[in-house]
Amino acid sequence: MILTIYTATTMIIIAYLLGSIPSAVWIGKKYYGIDIREYGSKNAGTTNMLRVLGKRAALPVFALDFMKGFVAVTLIELLKYDENISDMWLINIKIIAVFAAVLGHIFPIFAGFRGGKGVATLVGAVTGIYPPVALLCFGVWLVVLMISHYVSLSSMVAGCCFPFFTLVSPKVNESIPFVVFSFVIAVLLIWTHRKNIERLKAGTESKIYIWKPRKVSGEPPRNGNGGQTPSGK
């Protein structure tokens, strides 16, 4: 039993370390010569990379951030071979791992504890636990984005739908910890987007147009990757 506790604790620490991998910061510095946290919304995440540097910079960041959450949760599956771990405890440990990975993304130890909002990491983690719910949330996110062009609004609406989808999903709605987890995540997403909410109210939140060129007056020159090359802080 002691070995089981040590193993579970180690995997949760690994989940935090995986979440702490600052893909946006490293890609920005390595390939574009900037610290993405000094531009745009100053968040180290997919949306800010898309806004500042374009799709070619944002796609690998999303993929890496998604995989951080997915791998963090998937590793917990190894504990199912431990006879001391019941199915209920397995889902509980997965939930803790999700929080650890998202916390790592928001407060990354490898990037001075200045990260992003953790949405892509969260999506990857939920996909690792129960893909249908993650797919439904993604569908909501995509529809709201196509209508409003606000990534922040799309993320918050999808996050608020997460508890509802959990409650109507027969495979997970019997797990009280997972239901509680879904509500906590919805609240957490609202909290991490509080500055975006202020900008939405003020009408100053940036819009993202994925399938057609953005028309922004006075935008800086674009680099060869189709994104903007920041010329100063």
With a CB cutoff of 8 Å and minimum separation 6, the contacts of 102 are 19, 69, 118, 121, 122, 125, 188
Per-residue pLDDT tens digits for 106-153: 999 999 999 998 899 999 999 998 899 999 999 999 999 999 999 899
**Are 90 and 163 part of one and the same domain?**
no
Identify the domain containing residue 12 by its residue range. Answer: 1-123
CA distance 145 to 155: 9
End-to-end CA distance of the chain: 53
Domain total of the chain: 2
Q: Using CA of residue 197, residue 181, residue 144, residue 150, what is the dihedral sign?
A: positive
112 and 8 together in one domain? yes
Q: Are residues 113 and 48 in the same domain?
A: yes
Identify whether 230 is part of a domain: no
DSSP state of 85: -
The residue out of 78, 94, 123 marking a domain boundary is 123
Are both 145 and 102 inside the same structural domain?
no
Residues 42 and 117 in one domain: yes
Q: What is the pLDDT of residues 41-99, one digit of tens each?
A: 889 999 899 889 988 999 999 999 999 999 999 998 888 777 777 777 888 899 999 99
Rounded Cα distance, 41 and 51, in Å: 9
Mark whether 94 and 143 lie in a shared domain: no
Residue recorded with tokens 């922004």: 216
Asked whether residue 5 falls in the same domain as residue 101, the answer is yes
